Amino acid sequence: MAYPHLLAPLDLGFTQLKNRVLMGSMHTGLEEEKNGFDKLAQFYKERAEGGVGMIVTGGVAPNFRGRLTPGACQLSFPWQVAKHRKMTDVVHQAGAKICLQILHSGRYGYHPFSVSASDIKSPISPFKPRAMSLRQIKKTVKDYAASALLARKAGYDGVEVMGSEGYLINQFICTHSNQRQDEYGGSLENRCRFALDIINAIRAKVGTEFIIIFRLSMLDLIEKGSTWDEVVQLAKWLEEAGVTIINTGIGWHEARIPTIVTSVPRAAFAWVTEKLKKEVSIPLIATNRINTPDIAENIIASGQADMVSMARPFLAEPQFVNKAANNEAHLINTCIGCNQACLDHTFSLKRATCLVNPRACYETELNFGQTPRPKRIAVMGAGPAGMAFSVYAAKRGHDVVLYEAKSEVGGQFNFARQVPGKEEFDETIRYFLNQIELANVDLRLNTRLTPDIIEKEQFDEVVIAAGVIPRALDLPGFDDAKVVNYQQVLNKEVEIGNKVALIGAGGIGFDMAHYLAEQHSSTIDPQQWYKQWGIDTQYQHAGGLMPAEQHQPEREITLMQRKSSKMGKGLGKTSGWVHRSVLKQHQVNMLTGVSYIKFDEQGLHIEIEGKPQLLEVDNVVLCAGQESNREWVDAMQKTGLPVHLIGGVDVAAELDAKRAIRQGAILASEI
C-alpha cells in the first residue's frame, strides 16, 4: 500500500478519520461573495472526493468584533446555519469530515471595532484595539460556544478553535500583547484562562462526541512570545479540558520570520510538533510547508505527528490523496508556496485561487468539458501559458501540437527555478510535462513553429505563447561585454565578477540579487536556514527566537531603480518583505531615484538627485523588464488562421505565471 502511515485511519474514540490528512483552514473569499457558499460547497466537495480525511473551513468569527474585516463571515444566528449545510452535506457524501474554524481576529481586525487583551496596536493593522472588559470576555466566551453549537446544528463534525498566528486567543496567552492586571493577565494560568474558558464552554454546549481541535501557537517567533514550558503547560491544560486534537500554529502574522513562503524549507517546523508529542497523549497535527505525500508520510512514519495539515496544496491539487493512494504522486500538481494567487489575493480582499491551478475556487465557473468540435491547434512556446493551454485544450478533445524552439519546456520557469528558494518551480514543470504526456499533446522540442509548418500540418487555429525578451537599454557603453542581461547570467553564458550593479528592481532584479549573493540555497539546507533567520531550534528563548547569524556577503551588489518609491513595492503582498529581508541579510546596497548615464572602463556612471556617482563594478546586469516576443505574430496572422496571443507575448508588462497559466486555461475552456 502506498503511504501506509499517512493513509492509515485515525481513531478518535467516538469517531474515526479515514486517513491522517487534514485540509487546513484557508480563507477563499467565497465566504463573503453573493451565492459564495454554493461555490464553496463545490470547492470542498472536490477536495473531499479527492480523498482528504478531514477539512477545516476558513475562519468564521464568533461575533461582530471578531471579524477580520467588517464584511467577513460570522456564525452567531440560527438563520446562518442553512448555508453551512450545503458544505457539510457534500463533504459527508464524499466520505470526509469537516470542522468549522472559529477565529476571533482580536487586534488583527481590520476595522475600528477591534478588541484585544490590552489596548496595544499590532504592527500589521492601522486600528488600535480596545482592551476587553471582563463582561466582554465572558460574553465572547459564550459567543464561541454559541458558534460551536450552531456548527454542530449545521452538520459539522467539530470545530477548530484558532488559538495561534497572533489572533485574539494568542493575544491573551502572551505578555507581548497582554498586560492585564486582572484574572486574565499576569501569570500563565491567568493568560491561558480565556483559551480554557472557551474550550470548557464549547465542550459543555456540544457534548463529548464532537471534535474540538485547538490550533496552538507552538512557536510564536515574536519577542515576549511563549516559552517552551508555557507551550507544554497550555497543551496539557487543553488536553485536560477535553480538546480532541491539537493542531500546530507557527509564527504570529506580525513575525518577521517567514513560515510558509516558498523559500521556507519543506516541513521546516515539524520538529516543533515532534517536541510536543512527548508531552501530551491526544493526537497532534504537523503543519507548514508540507506539500508532497512523501514528506507527509515521513512525518507520520517517524512519529513526529499523528496527522499532517496541508492547506495550499489542496488549492493546487484537489486529488492529492487519491493520487498518492494510487501511486501517482508524480501526477500531483504541487503547491510551490508562491502565495501569488492565494494569500496575496486574500490580503487584497480578492477571491483566492492558485497560480498552478486556475480552477481553484472557480470550480463552478472554469471547466473543461469535451468539445463538440475538435480542432487541430498549433501552439508556439512551451512556457507556463503554452503548456497550460495545450494540456487543458487537449483534455477537451482538441488535437494539440506544442512547438518549443528550445530543448526543454518551462519558459521563464527555467530561469525562476535557479533562484535560491525557488526550487519548487521544478515541480510545476514536472507536473505539466506529465500532463502533456497524459493528455496526448504532441510536444515537438527543438522545433520553431513557422508558417510553412502551419500550412503543411493543416491546423485550424494558432496559439502564440512565445513569451518575452529581456529589455535592452541603449546607453553609452552598454554594448560592452560586461553589460549583460539576467538571462545570460542564468544561462551561465557569462562570468560575473565580485562587484555587480543590477539595473531594475522588479521581481527579477530581486531574484537576480539573491542568485548572485547566495551560492548555496539555504532552502535546501534547513540548519543553515534556521541560523539565517534566528530560529532557536533548541527552544531556549521565549518565542523561539535567537540572534540571526551575521552573513559575510560573497559579492558587493548594488540594486537600482529609477523610481524613488520603496524598493520591491510591486513584489507579492505576503512575500515581498521576505525578499527585502534576504537582500538586507546579504547587505545588498539599494538605490532609488537613479538615472543611468554610461558604462566605461571605470564602471557604471549614474546620477541620483542630479549628483553624479561612479559605481566601480565588474559587471552590470540588466533586469529592466521585458518586451513581448512578437517576432512571429505578423507571419502567423498572414496565414489567415485565427491567431490567439497568451502570456507574455500578449502583455509583457504584466508578465507573470499566474496570469499566463490562467489565460491559457481560459482560452482552452472557450476555444
- Site residues for ligand NAP per CB under 6 A: 471, 473, 503-509, 511, 561-563, 570-572, 623-626, 655-656
Which of ligand NAP, ligand SF4, none lies near 26, with the C-beta cut-off 5 to 8 A by kind?
Answer: none
Minimum Å gap between C-beta 609 and ligand NAP is 15
Is residue 355 near ligand SF4 by the rule CB under 6 A?
yes
Residue 635 CA to residue 462 CA, distance in Å, equals 11
Is residue 578 near ligand SF4 by the rule CB under 6 A?
no
Which of ligand SF4, ligand NAP, none lies near 508, with the C-beta cut-off 5 to 8 A by kind?
Answer: ligand NAP
Which of ligand NAP, ligand SF4, none lies near 335, with the C-beta cut-off 5 to 8 A by kind?
Answer: ligand SF4
Which of ligand SF4, ligand NAP, none lies near 562, with the C-beta cut-off 5 to 8 A by kind?
Answer: ligand NAP
Is residue 264 near ligand SF4 by the rule CB under 6 A?
no
Which of ligand NAP, ligand SF4, none lies near 504, with the C-beta cut-off 5 to 8 A by kind?
Answer: ligand NAP
Minimum Å gap between C-beta 653 and ligand NAP is 6
Cβ closest to ligand SF4, residue 29 vs residue 504: 29
Is residue 340 near ligand SF4 by the rule CB under 6 A?
yes
Number of residues that bind ligand SF4 (CB under 6 A): 14
Minimum Å gap between C-beta 509 and ligand NAP is 5
Amino acid at site 36 = G
Cβ closest to ligand NAP, residue 313 vs residue 648: 648
Residue 39 CA to residue 405 CA, distance in Å, equals 40
Q: Which of 459, 465, 501, 514 is nearest to 598 (CA)?
A: 501
Residue 296 CA to residue 3 CA, distance in Å, equals 9
Beta-bridge partners for 556: 499
Is residue 366 near ligand SF4 by the rule CB under 6 A?
no
Beta-bridge partners for 611: 608
At what angle are helices 270-277 and 228-240 packed, to 10 degrees? 60
Which of ligand NAP, ligand SF4, none lies near 356, with the C-beta cut-off 5 to 8 A by kind?
Answer: ligand SF4
Do 545 and 535 contact (CB within 8 A), yes or no?
yes
Q: What are the φ and ψ backbone dihedral angles of 338, each rounded to 5 degrees?
A: -80, -25
Cβ closest to ligand NAP, residue 297 vs residue 427: 427
Residue among 167, 392, 403, 596 flagged as catalytic: 167
Q: What are the φ and ψ backbone dihedral angles of 60, each rounded to 5 degrees?
A: -120, 130
Q: Which of 202, 198, 282 is nearest to 235 (CA)?
A: 282
- State yes or no: is 167 an active-site residue: yes
Cβ closest to ligand NAP, residue 122 vs residue 522: 522
Is residue 315 near ligand SF4 by the rule CB under 6 A?
yes
Close Cβ partners of 611 (under 8 Å, ≥ 6 residues apart): none
Minimum Å gap between C-beta 255 and ligand SF4 is 18
Beta-bridge partners for 377: 400, 461
With b meaning 16 or more CB within 10 Å and e meaning fewer, what string describes 108-123?
bbbbeebbbbbeeebe
Question: How open is the CA angle 162-200-275, to the nearest 5 degrees?
Answer: 55
Q: Which of 501, 375, 355 is nearest to 432 (CA)?
A: 355
Question: How open is the CA angle 385-412-501, to the nearest 5 degrees?
Answer: 145
Binder of ligand SF4 out of 198, 336, 606, 615 (CB under 6 A): 336
Which of ligand NAP, ligand SF4, none lies near 242, with the C-beta cut-off 5 to 8 A by kind?
Answer: none
Binder of ligand SF4 out of 118, 339, 412, 561 (CB under 6 A): 339
Cβ closest to ligand NAP, residue 56 vs residue 622: 622
- Coil, strand or helix: which one is 454? helix
Helices marked H in 94-207: 134-153, 168-173, 188-206
Cβ closest to ligand NAP, residue 231 vs residue 588: 588
Do 51 and 310 contact (CB within 8 A), yes or no?
no
At what angle are helices 81-93 and 134-153 packed, to 10 degrees? 50
Minimum Å gap between C-beta 634 and ligand NAP is 24
Is residue 335 near ligand SF4 by the rule CB under 6 A?
yes
Minimum Å gap between C-beta 473 and ligand NAP is 5
By annotation, the residues acting in catalysis are 167
Residue numbers at the binding site for ligand SF4 (CB under 6 A) = 312, 315-316, 335-342, 354-356
